[in-house]
């Protein structure tokens, strides 16, 4: 019996000595591949997740003091499976409690503001689960690799990101940051698959191949960014991505862990329950 | 074999002679109650729905000219099951393509603006499916019943709503408006259930019982609103709501019908597929 544990999900946490070369994108640590076991493990905690998420939502609605939210940041090279994580992990959730933000290349107006300007409006409200498909990390990844901002500005951003995330954490927002780490070979397969299937052409962008030529530079930018911004309050996880289902499972367990850590209870009634019951029975 | 058809879903459409008293909230027209048949019929078109929704999303992403969106407006008395529709019907959808807006009592700032001011930012973008849990109809329902706006202003709003929805339709936004019509008895059961279960106290509001005392006035306001704003481009459906699963099924079929009517295709590539394939194979 193949069992995936929380410890294994957490083992992908990025520490100060993190080296991206140490992570094998094809590996599935803590899980021997078995389709049936995967189905079971992936869905094992669905009921608990459902209740935790509803409790979080309820606390937000009731504006219970101290209620926070959850922020999941997804990063990864093209075709690394960010969209698949959103689709498959969060289908189990009530769509009302979710807020999904996708960050593309900044618009002309966004470029005239600080890099965090477009991010703040997408923060989770209390009781909400926000998912960033790409994020403010693009501003130290693609912008570093393609020299879209001066070196001093990139340097400044690492510090601002840490401070920004600290501020979110102070407001009880749990932050999970995931890099879906795929291999160059796997990306090539994926790109060819997209090109061979007319139903996937819309996902393809000729620029993807240009980025691919800068693979090593991207990996270096990821390594630096993850190392410098993985904190206790907003840890990074570098999750092997070539087995998409493995990555989805790991993310699901991290989300479960974060929700559990909130120690959520149903909000107490702010009215006299017995008196209302009496009224309702007569109404 | 009990089969639910599109015609039956559409039979709930509100026409010019609509009388709310003609709709029996406990009925399940077109479907003899059978749990297994329900499960089958409810999920029968899941794959098609998934593909249609992804096509809509893809057309939005590719900014294909003429692409619209979908807007589902849900109205109903407290406990009529609006949240359940969102949860159960839209769980089958990619959360990335959904946008859910809940309209509570207007804030101080919202009250200083036209009633549609807070609605416009929540419109579906192209490729999006937006769901309004309550909507601008509150401004001719609760506001009429509780005399929160002068009669002339309420009168003006019916016309503005029709024009606003016409504008959305001109931009190829399909609009489905659903009243989940429950009986007073069913609401009473639901309210008592909420009060008896501490996990549901957060959903209860003592004001719900005050509204209940105005049931007839609400039904009158609904009848007038539905009759005056049910148009070809934005029809109302008054769906019996006491059997929650029946209502969810009917809504799901209406959504399916709207998506089908868009005649969606996968967006064509805006690049040379063969040339890119060659590049990708070498990359």
Q: What percent of chain B has a predicted confidence (pLDDT) above 70? A: 100
B2 pLDDT above the threshold of 90: no
Q: What is the pLDDT of residues A169-208, one digit of tens each?
A: 999 999 999 999 999 999 999 999 999 999 999 999 999 9
H/E run at residue B175: strand B173-181
Across the range B213-235, mean pLDDT stands at 98
Closest CA–CA distance from residue A61 to any residue of chain B (Å):
8
> What pLDDT is recorded for position B239?
98
A6-264 CATH fold:
Rossmann fold (3.40.50)
pLDDT of A257 reads 97
pLDDT in tens, A102-118: 999 999 999 999 999 99
pLDDT at A14 over 80: yes
pLDDT, mean over chain A: 95
In the DSSP assignment, the letter for residue B269 is P
A96 interaction partners in chain B (CB closer than 8 Å): 83, 86-87, 100, 102, 133
**Spatial CB neighbours of B143, under 8 Å, sequence gap ≥ 6:** B149, B154
| Chain A interface test: which of B61, B194, B201 (most A C-beta within 10 Å) | B201
At B78-88, the pLDDT tens digits run 999 999 999 99
**Lowest mean pLDDT: which of A53-62, B31-40, B192-201?**
B31-40
Task: Extract the tokens encoding B231.
Answer: 């148009």
Please give the structure tokens belonging to residue B194: 């909420």
Task: Give the pLDDT score at A264.
Answer: 98
Q: What integer pLDDT is reported at residue B3 of this predicted model? A: 83
DSSP string, B24-91: -TT--TT----HHHHHHHHHTTHHHHHHHHHHHHHHHHTT-TT--EEEEEEEESTTSSHHHHHHHHHT
Percent of chain A having pLDDT more than 90?
93
Count interface pairs A-B at CB distance under 8 A: 116
Report pLDDT digits (tens) over B101-153. 999 999 999 999 999 999 999 999 999 999 999 999 999 999 999 999 999 99
Give me B283's structure tokens.
């990359």
Query: Is the ipTM above a cut-off of 0.95?
Result: no
Q: With contact defined as beta carbons under 8 Å apart, do B88 and B39 qualify?
A: no
Which residues are within 8 A (CB) of A53 and not within 5 positions of it... i.e. 6 or more apart? Answer: A93, A94, A97, A129, A259
Question: In the structure encoding, which two tokens stand for residue A199, read together?
Answer: 């139903």
Given A94, A196, A209, which is nearest B87 (Cβ)? A94
| pLDDT of B49 above 80 | yes
Q: Which two tokens stand for residue B106?
A: 């207007």
For an interface test with A, the pick among B85, B202, B272 (most A C-beta atoms closer than 10 Å) comes out as B202
Distance of alpha carbon B276 from alpha carbon B283, whole angstroms? 10
Measured CA to CA, the distance from residue B9 to residue B240 in angstroms comes to 11
Tens digit of pLDDT for each residue in A225-276?
Answer: 999 999 999 999 999 999 999 999 999 999 999 999 999 999 999 999 999 9
The answer on pLDDT for B227 being more than 70 is yes
Number of C-beta neighbours around residue A185 at 10 A: 11
Task: Note whether B141 and B115 are within 8 A (CB).
Answer: no
B171 versus B38: the higher-pLDDT residue is B171
How many Cβ atoms sit within 10 Å of the Cβ of residue A117?
14
| CA distances to A158, A170, A226 from A229, in Å | 7, 16, 5
What would you measure as the largest C-alpha separation in chain B, in angstroms?
73
Angle at the Cα of A37 (from A33 to A43), degrees rounded to 5?
125
CA A262-A265-A267 angle, to 5 degrees, is 120
Contacts of B58 in chain A (CB under 8 A): 202-203
Q: What percent of chain B has pLDDT over 90?
A: 92
Distances (CA, A) of A10 to A18, A72, A238: 14, 15, 10
Q: Which of B108, B124, B225 is nearest to B177 (CA)?
A: B225
Q: What is the pLDDT of residues B257-282, one digit of tens each?
A: 999 999 999 999 999 999 999 999 99
Using a CB–CB cutoff of 8 Å, tell me whether B212 touches chain A.
yes
Quick check: A278 pLDDT over 90? yes
Mutate to test the interface with B, among A96, A98, A185, A208 (most CBs of B within 10 A): A96
Is there a contact between A78 and A32 (Cβ–Cβ < 8 Å)? no
Residue of A nearest to B59 (CA): A202
Q: What is the pLDDT of residue B1?
A: 55
Do residues A256 and A56 make contact, with C-beta atoms less than 8 angstroms apart? Answer: no
State residue B92's pLDDT score. Answer: 77
Q: Do the beta carbons of residue B238 and residue B181 sit within 8 Å?
A: yes
* Partner-chain contact A269 B209, CB within 8 Å: no
Q: Hey, which bits of chain A come out as E strands?
A: 69-76, 98-102, 129-133, 173-181, 236-240
DSSP symbol at A272: -
For the domain B6-265, what is the CATH code?
Answer: 3.40.50.300
Task: Quickly state the pLDDT bin for A1 (edges 50, 70, 90).
Answer: low
Give the separation between CA B203 and CA A62, rounded to whole angstroms: 9
Candidate from A127-131, B89-93, B177-181, B238-242 with smallest mean pLDDT: B89-93
| Gyration radius (Cα) of chain B, Å | 20
A23 pLDDT higher than 80:
yes
pLDDT of residue B32: 80
Mean confidence (pLDDT) of chain B? 95
Domain ranges across chain B: 6-265
What pLDDT does residue B201 have? Answer: 97
């Amino acid at each position: 019996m193949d069992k995936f544990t929380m410890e294994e999900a957490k083992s992908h946490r990025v520490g100060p000595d993190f080296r991206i070369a140490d992570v094998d994108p094809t590996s599935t640590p803590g899980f021997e591949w078995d389709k049936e076991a995967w189905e079971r493990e992936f869905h094992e905690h669905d009921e608990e997740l459902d209740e935790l998420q509803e409790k979080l939502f309820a606390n937000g609605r009731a504006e219970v003091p101290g209620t926070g939210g959850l922020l999941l940041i997804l990063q990864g090279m093209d075709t690394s499976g960010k969209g698949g994580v959103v689709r498959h992990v969060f289908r189990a959730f009530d769509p009302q409690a979710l807020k999904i933000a996708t960050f593309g290349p900044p618009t002309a107006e966004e470029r005239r503001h600080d890099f965090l300007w477009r991010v703040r409006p997408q923060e989770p409200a209390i009781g909400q689960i926000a998912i960033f498909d790409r994020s403010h990390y693009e501003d130290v990844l693609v912008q570093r690799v393609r020299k879209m901002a001066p070196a001093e500005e990139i340097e400044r951003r690492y510090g601002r990101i840490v401070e920004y995330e600290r501020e979110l954490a102070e407001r009880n927002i749990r932050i999970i940051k995931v890099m879906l780490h795929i291999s160059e070979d796997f990306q090539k397969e994926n790109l060819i698959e997209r090109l061979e299937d007319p139903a996937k052409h819309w996902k393809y962008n000729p620029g993807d191949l240009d980025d691919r030529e800068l693979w090593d530079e991207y990996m270096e930018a990821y390594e630096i960014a993850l190392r410098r911004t993985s904190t206790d309050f907003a840890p990074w996880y570098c999750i092997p991505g070539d087995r998409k289902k493995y990555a989805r499972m790991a993310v699901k367990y991290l989300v479960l862990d974060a929700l559990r850590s909130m120690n959520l209870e149903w909000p107490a009634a702010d009215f006299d329950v017995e008196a209302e019951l009496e009224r309702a029975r007569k109404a």
